[in-house]
Structure formats: C-alpha cells, structure tokens
Amino acid sequence: MYKASANGLAEAFNKTLCNLLRKVVAKSKRDWHERIGEASWAYHTTYKTPTQATPYALVYGVEAVLPLELQIPSLRIAIQEGLTEDENDKLRLAELEALDEKRLEAQQKLQCYQARLSRTFNKKKVYTNGAYKIVDEDGVRVGPINGKFLKRYYS
C-alpha cells in the first residue's frame, strides 16, 4: 500500500490515466494538472468490459448525468423531472438498496472475465523452471518435460 509500484491495480489505473491525459492535454503538455478532472471523469463514466458497468455506477448506484443530457434532455432526465420529490426519493432509495446486488454481480462478471483471460494465457503458457516442450521430426509434441530428465544429444 505504501509502495505504489508494488500495487498492480494502482499501476494499471495510473497507466490508463496517463493515456487519457495524453489525449486531452494541449501540445505543450503543461496543462495536464488542469485537465486531470476531465480525464478522471472520462475514466469513471466509461463502460468497463470486465465488470460490464461504469465505475461511477458501481459507487453511486446510477449512471452519471452527462452534461450533454442537461442540454438535450434524455428520456431518463425527462422521467426524473416528472417525478415528485417523494417519488424521486423512493426511486433513489430503491437504487441504493439494489447497489449491493449490482456490485456483487459486477464482481462475479469480473471473476469470469479473469478466468477467461487466465485460460487463454495458459493455452500459450511459457514453461519455466527448466521445463521443455519437445517436438519430434513429424511435428508430434511431447511435454512438458522436466529438464533434469533430458540428456544432451550430439549429432
């Protein structure tokens, strides 16, 4: 926790944030500190494939209202404006009550996504610690075999 480079999640987020900043800063690259809010907003309101949700929705229970939706009212804004204060409060409470289930579902989707990635990676696994994959002249694969069971062959 005290060493950011040892935290893979922090490193992944920092990499993503730097890539976003590269896209929004001016050519001089000296205004990055003024644009970090925009980059952070973009990250938090963008759909993530592993969780199949936006980080904003997983924190607050609803999708963020984009500035464009205020200028050109969307269906959800129109519905929300037509509600009374009590109806709006009840709707918000229901959304917050469903938040734990939404987070659990996102966690399950993330685990499935990670399992798929792991299976894909393991198909192309590089053998380490002295293991070898042997292919004969006909292309038949044998292995992996521990290197200590192999003998050098000189032709």
Q: What is the pLDDT along the chain (155 residues), one digit of tens a residue?
A: 566 566 777 888 889 988 888 888 877 778 888 888 888 998 999 999 999 999 999 999 988 888 888 788 777 777 777 888 888 889 889 999 999 999 999 999 999 999 988 887 776 565 666 777 777 777 777 767 777 777 777 76
Spatial distance between the Cα atoms of 94 and 85, rounded to a whole number of angstroms: 14
The whole model's pTM is what? 0.65
Spatial distance between the Cα atoms of 80 and 77, rounded to a whole number of angstroms: 5
The terminus-to-terminus CA distance of the chain in angstroms comes to 55
Q: 73: cis peptide before it, omega within 30°?
A: no
| CA-based radius of gyration for the chain | 25
